[in-house]
Amino acid sequence: MQHATKRLLLVDDRAKYSDIISDFFTEYGYLVDRAVSAKQGIGMLKDKGLDHYRVVVTDITMEHQLAGIELIYFLFKKKYAGTVVMASTGFDIYLGMFFSKLFMGIFGVHYLIPKTTVISRDFAFYPARPGSSPLRKFVEVPAS
């Protein structure tokens, strides 16, 4: 019996972060494809189909200030059934995590990762709902 490959789309324009994130998820058994812009990531999702990737990890600021939000909205509109993770340096600013949890969960984001935890290689996955505590291990969210 052949195991299904767990595929992940990583959308980030900075190799500094994407290399670390890619290494982390590779250790969890994912085959990681990388896009360097939200536009490229959306193109890959359209070309391969939404069910090709079990997980999408995206930065927010890429080719323009809110490019990652456009990608999140695309996934939301298309009713993407996989796990959505948003990684950002903005979660470390005062109230950044609080408001991101409040609003991103509405648009289908499951986890937020502060990039400080990426750089330190001590990942923290904050579920995108107020009052939730961070997880130290990644767990896919079952498709609904």
Q: In this predicted model, what pLDDT tens digit does every residue of 81-120 receive, in sequence order? A: 999 999 887 676 756 777 777 788 889 999 999 999 999 9
Whether 111 contacts 86, CB under 8 Å: yes
Q: In this predicted model, what pLDDT tens digit does every residue of 117-144 receive, in sequence order? A: 999 999 999 999 878 889 999 999 987 6
132 in any annotated domain: no
117 in any annotated domain: yes
- Average pLDDT of the chain, as a whole number: 90
Distance from C-alpha of 132 to C-alpha of 36, rounded to nearest angstrom: 30
pTM of the model: 0.91
142 in any annotated domain: no
Distance from C-alpha of 70 to C-alpha of 18, rounded to nearest angstrom: 19
138 in any annotated domain: no
* Residue 17, number of CB atoms within 10 A of its CB: 20
Q: At what angle do helices 67-77 and 38-48 cross, to 10 degrees?
A: 20
144 in any annotated domain: no
Give the CATH number for residue 116.
3.40.50.2300
Query: Could you list the residue range(s) of the whole structural domain that residue 23 is in?
Result: 6-127
Alpha helix (H) residue ranges in the chain:
15-27, 38-48, 67-77, 96-104, 115-119
- Give how many domains the chain has, as a whole number: 1
